[in-house]
Amino acid sequence: PAFESDQVAYRIYFDKKQTVDIYGKFNKGFEIRESQFYPTDEQLARGFGDDVLLVGNSCGVGALKGWDGKKATHIEPVASLTETIRAYGPVRTVTDIVSTDWQYQGSELQMTVRYILYAGHRDCEVQVHFAEPLKNEVFSTGVLNIKGSSSFSDHKGLVACWGTDWPVNDTVKYAKETVGVATCLPSDLIKNETQDAANYLYVIGAEGWSSFTYHITFTSMKETFGYKTKEDWFAFVQKWKKELHQSCQVEVK
C-alpha cells in the first residue's frame, strides 16, 4: 500500500521487511493514484516526483524491526501478513499492517502497526498494538544509514540522517537523490542507542504495555517547499520533536 499527503508519499513493503519507503515530490500535490509510485517518462517530464530511497534490508524510515543483539531483524516467521488501507482522506490516511503469530523471542505476538498521515503533514504517526501486554521482548527502529551520510541524534529518542544515493539499481536512467529522514520515539521506550551495518537505531522495549506510538518524517531535496541542507534538516527535526511533545491547548471563548 502507498499513501500520500500533498507534500509526501509513503509505501509499506508487503513482505517480511515491512519497510517504510518514500516518494519525493517537486511540487505540492497528489500523484500516487496516477504514478503508482513509479512514474512514466511522460509523467517525469510533467514534473512528477518518484521513489527517492533505496531501502534494501534497512528499516527505511522508522519501520519497526526485531533485534537479535547485534542487528535489526525482519518480522518473521509469521502465520499471515495483511496490509490494509483503512481510510483515505480527506483528513488523513490510515494503513494497518497486521502480523499474526509472529514467533519472536519466545513469544507468539499478534501485532498491528498503524500508520496515520494527516493532510498537510510530511510526518507520519506510527501506532503499534499487541493483542496482549508485552513481556521482556525488545525491538528496534530508527533510520537507514545512507551511504556517506551525516547523522544526528539527541540520544533521547530522536535520530535523523541526511545523505545522497541512487534510489534504484538503474543508475543510467535515474539520478542520485538527496533525502533527509528522521524517527522520533518516546524516551521511556529507549533501552539503548546503537547502529548496525544498515541503520542508525534505538533498541526499545515496552514491558507490560500493549501499545506505543512514535513518529517518522522525511524530506527530499528536490522539493520546492522543503529543506536543502543537512543543517536545515537537523534543525527542523529538533523543532519537530518539540512540537510533537507540546500538549494541545484549547481555549473556549
Instruction: Give the Å distances, CA to CA, from 171 to 38, 55, 57, 181, 249.
Output: 15, 15, 19, 22, 49
| Among 3, 8, 5, CA closest to 227 | 8
CA distance 26 to 54: 19
Q: How many residues does the chain have?
A: 253
Per-residue pLDDT band for 87 (boundaries 50, 70, 90) equals: very high
Q: How high is the pLDDT of residue 148?
A: 83
The 10s digit of each residue's pLDDT in 179-192 is 999 999 999 999 99
State the alpha helices, DSSP H only, in the chain: 32-35, 41-45, 230-244
Q: Quick one: which of 124, 118, 154, 125 has its CA closest to 239?
A: 154
pLDDT in tens, 130-158: 999 999 999 999 999 998 899 999 999 99
Alpha carbon distance 131, 219 (integer Å): 34
The position carrying cell 508487503 is 14
Q: Give the residue from 97, 114, 131 showing the smallest Cα distance to 16.
A: 97
Q: Is pLDDT above 80 for 168?
A: no
pLDDT above 90 for 248: no
pLDDT at 147: 84
Query: What percent of the chain has a predicted confidence (pLDDT) above 70?
Result: 98
Contact present, 95 and 3 (Cβ < 8 Å): yes
Evaluate whether the domain defined by 2-244 bears CATH number 2.70.98. Answer: yes
Residue 171 pLDDT exceeds 80: no
| Dihedral over alpha carbons 183, 185, 189, 190 (to 10 degrees) | 60
Domains of the chain by residue range: 2-244
Cell, residue 192? 539503548
Per-residue pLDDT for 172 more than 70?
A: no
Q: pLDDT category, 175, cuts 50, 70, 90?
A: confident
**Distance in angstroms (rounded) separating the CA atoms of residues 81 and 98:** 6
Contact between 218 and 181 under an 8 Å Cβ cutoff? The reply is yes
Q: Are strands 80-88 and 92-104 parallel, antiparallel or unpaired?
A: antiparallel
- Residue 169: is its pLDDT beyond 80? no
Question: 114 pLDDT exceeds 90?
Answer: yes
Mean pLDDT of the chain: 95
